[in-house]
Amino acid sequence: MNDASNAWPALPFADWQDTAATLHMWTQIVGKIRLTLSPWTNHSWHVTLYLTSRGLTTSPIPHGTRTFEINFDFIEHQLRIETSDGNRRTIELKPRSVADLYRAVMKNLDELDLPMAINKLPNEIANPIPFDEDEEHRSYDREQANRFWRVLAQSDRVFKEFRSRFCGKCSPVHFFWGSFDLAVTRFSGRPAPPHPGGIPHLPDAITREAYSQEVSSLGFWPGNAAAPTAIFYSYAYPEPAGFAEAKVQPAAAFYEPKLREFMLPYDAVRTAEKPDEVLLDFAQSTYDAASKLGQWDRGALREHKPSLHSTHLRP
């Protein structure tokens, strides 16, 4: 195994599928709190979570004149609620049901004088169970949760390098709790045809606004019970003619016609001698295919870095 194996750990879905299902619902609870209180931002960017050096965070959420944030810590295995006036509550991450975590989170928010109510039905999954009724999902393996976060952390780092090459409109690198994936999306600057929608338990109006402009999107998805393989993916909307036949890198990448996206197995990156380079090759070659075939204005969107003789932006 190469020296990167500790940084890019193995993540076979069969080893943590029960933890993954529970953690998916836990992140939805926290994500819906941010959704409920945050001002709308285009393409639903106001609902996402972000990577930290210990886990995932909401970033500051407004509540009147105060703010608070909720942080998953996958090193000490805690969920922390911290407020702008210096208060904190900690909830242990351990084998516990979704309903139990939901009650603990809402109780602590009330104690911090942050009362609120959220839509308790999960999004983007079939046969959802309301959070306060979900006693089925209750698994939490510390080692596997930590491994998942470490994969996200490495992916986040490389995605940000890829993002820096683009000077057009581009999303942050962020974690979508509905689909349970990390993504970064580039935009051509042109409108797109209406999206057909049809995502389970997600209003079509939300989907259509998210895809109201032409995009090339890159992401990491850990897999699920129906498709138990962790992958990196890249797709274009609308998909230009010839995209499925495009030659992309590395050789392990392939086009999946059912999902209309290119896929690269996570293990192909993890076991590579230079994982960063392999992932960047995939990101760049799939973007090149989308933007060239889609006739984007690539010259106007390429990277422009200022020449600075100092790290200070002001005298």
> Could you report the per-residue pLDDT of 125-143, keeping only the tens digit for each?
999 999 999 999 999 999 9
pTM, to two decimals: 0.94
pLDDT surpassing 80 at residue 156: yes
Q: What is the pLDDT of residue 315?
A: 46
**Residue 140 and residue 187: Cα distance in Å, rounded?**
37
Tell me what the pLDDT averaged over the chain comes to.
95
Decide: 55 and 263 in contact? Cβ < 8 Å.
no
State pLDDT tens for residues 263-301.
999 999 999 999 999 999 999 999 999 999 999 999 999
pLDDT surpassing 90 at residue 313: no
Q: What is the pLDDT of residue 6?
A: 79
The whole-number average pLDDT for the span 75-79 is 98
State pLDDT tens for residues 204-235.
999 999 999 999 999 999 999 989 999 999 99
The whole-number average pLDDT for the span 155-172 is 97
Q: Which residues pair with 170 in a beta bridge?
A: 186
**Residue 20 and residue 226: Cα distance in Å, rounded?**
13
The whole-number average pLDDT for the span 245-265 is 97
Q: What is the 3-state secondary structure (H, E, C) of the chain?
A: CCHHHCCCCCCCHHHHHHHHHHHHHHHHHHHHHHHHHCCCCHHHHHHCEEECCCEEECCCEEECCEEEEEEEECCCCEEEEEECCCCEEEEECCCCCHHHHHHHHHHHHHHCCCCCCCCCCCCCCCCCCCHHHCCCCCCCCHHHHHHHHHHHHHHHHHHHHHHCCECCCECCCEEECCCCEEEEEEEEEEECCCCCCCCCCCCHHHHHHHCCEEEEEEEEECCCCCCCCCEEEEEEECCCCCHHHCCCCCCCCEEECCCCEEEEEHHHHHCCCCHHHHHHHHHHHHHHHHHHHCCCCHHHHECCCCCCCCCCCCC
Among the listed residues 51, 153, 32, 144, the one whose alpha carbon sits nearest the alpha carbon of residue 98: 32
The whole-number average pLDDT for the span 108-133 is 97
Cα torsion through 268, 269, 270, 274, rounded to 10: 120
**Residue 282 and residue 194: Cα distance in Å, rounded?**
28
pLDDT surpassing 60 at residue 1: no
Q: What is the pLDDT of residue 4?
A: 54
pLDDT surpassing 60 at residue 306: no
**Residue 242 and residue 219: Cα distance in Å, rounded?**
21
Q: What is the pLDDT of residue 309?
A: 47
Question: For residue 238, with 0-12 CB atoms within 10 Å meaning exposed, 13-18 middle and 19 or more buried, which class applies?
Answer: middle
Q: What is the pLDDT of residue 29?
A: 98
Q: What is the pLDDT of residue 106?
A: 98
pLDDT confidence bin for 307, thresholds 50/70/90: low
Neighbours of 170 (CB within 10 A): 18
Q: What is the pLDDT of residue 310?
A: 47
Neighbours of 130 (CB within 10 A): 13
The whole-number average pLDDT for the span 157-181 is 97
Q: What is the pLDDT of residue 139?
A: 98
Q: What is the pLDDT of residue 2?
A: 46
